[in-house]
Amino acid sequence: MKIPLKPTHLRRYRDVATLLIRYGRSDLVQQAGLDAMLEAADTTEEGVAQATELASDLEKLGPTFVKLGQMLSTRVDLLPLAYLEPLTRLQDQVEPFPYDEVRTIVKKELGVRISKAFSRFDRKPLAAASLGQVHRATLRDGRLVVVKVQRPGIRSQVKDDLEALTEIAGFLDRHTETGRRYGFGPTVSEFRRTLLQELDYRCEAANLKTMQRSLEPFERILVPAPVDDYTSSRVLTMEHVRGIKVDELNPVVRLDVEGSELAEELFRAYLHQILVDGLFHADPHPGNVFLTPDHRIALLDLGMVGRIPSPMQNDLLELLMAIGEGDGEGTASLALRLGEKILITMKLSFVGMSASSSRSIRRRRSPSSKSANSSCGYSALRRAAGCGSRLSSRC
């Protein structure tokens, strides 16, 4: 049986088929009937492409596939280890789009000209990625800000790509043994939800505010504040954070930084996000983690966040406790239970994890009990780290 082909998606069907053949899954191409989309040149390459080439192949296919590769880099159940490391280094940098288009988008989205809203607005972007680019600016009240402007036409492009991927994944799940085993549909469904949220900058603004409240007790962690009056679904204005990417620190700066204390603070902040709030910064690559001039850690780009329901938080805490206590059998049992719950959640299209970030903290259990549990979690995880892989014996 062949996948029903939509004329508008023919190019993407061909791209996906070529990619699968290059990396040794011609069986899926044949079972889905996508081999008819290919020219002879696509199927006669010598051998299977090297794992290190996958990242560059995805970059050539555009932003949707770059984001897909970043998501797959965490899926040890779907890809061999040889592919995971190259995918973690996927680059999301492209040529900036013209300033005239920036000016048009800002005026349409905010209802005011750049010259009226800002006393200064840099024509050259600080950074340009596949979904948008960032410009430094100054508000009329003197506040230094950065303005993220979404790339023209990117929404329709991403939606077309997602539709094609959804069709292919659904067909493979229904008609191939590999699809039934791994469940590509739920994975693509969650990826679709996450990426479409990332394209709505109002969601990121809400995430910034929620994360600011969450991490307020951590004095060495900084989250920039959004400027609501200058934010829309395609334009995000937030306070400007000066700093250096954590992977670009020179030796002199490193000598002057209390690295172990900063690492401990960041460690505790992430445990707090995961075990207490159930909302965490899900894209902490070096480009999104800065060291500020006053030696704080700034977490940037909250377009992608993860959510953990309370029952799963409890399971995670029990798992950490079991690891910390050297309970091998308990660890294995809890890990299996967690895996089963995650699989069920994926098949339900992550309904329990899709609540809006504005409700993610208010509707949790009482702060006192969660804070107490999180303290246990800090201790347990530190003990677990000291144990390494020796789960059968105590530290």
**Chain segment 63-93, per-residue pLDDT in tens:** 898 888 887 877 777 777 888 878 877 766 6
Closest CA to 272 of 324, 217, 312, 315: 217
C-alpha span between 226 and 67 (Å, rounded): 24
Q: What is the pLDDT along the chain (395 residues), one digit of tens a residue?
A: 555 667 678 788 888 878 777 776 655 655 555 555 555 434 444 444 577 788 888 888 888 988 888 878 777 777 778 888 788 777 666 789 999 999 999 999 999 999 999 999 999 999 888 899 999 999 999 999 999 999 999 999 999 999 999 988 888 888 888 888 878 888 899 889 889 999 999 999 999 999 999 999 999 999 999 999 999 999 999 999 999 888 888 887 787 888 889 989 999 999 999 999 999 998 887 778 899 999 999 999 898 888 888 888 888 889 988 988 889 998 999 888 887 766 655 554 433 333 333 444 344 434 444 444 445 555 555 444 343 333 333 34
> Quick one: pLDDT at residue 33?
56
CA dihedral 93, 95, 101, 105 (to 10 degrees): 0
Nearest C-alpha neighbor of 121 from the set 129, 130, 110, 131: 110
Closest CA to 175 of 328, 278, 285, 31: 31
Q: What is the pTM (predicted TM-score) of this model?
A: 0.75
pLDDT in tens, 200-231: 999 999 999 999 999 999 999 999 999 999 99
Adjacent-strand bridge partners of 73: none
- Dihedral sign, Cα of residue 49, residue 54, residue 56, residue 59: positive
Q: Which residues are catalytic?
A: 283
Mention every residue, 6+ apart, whose C-beta is less than 8 A from residue 68.
58, 165, 191
User: Do 23 and 87 touch, CB atoms closer than 8 A?
Assistant: no
Q: Which domains does the chain have, with CATH numbers?
A: 7-91+155-197 (no CATH), 99-152+200-306 (1.10.510.10), 308-387 (no CATH)
Contact 223, 297 (CB under 8 A): no
Give the distance, in angstroms, between the CA of residue 151 and the centroid of all CA atoms in the same chain.
19
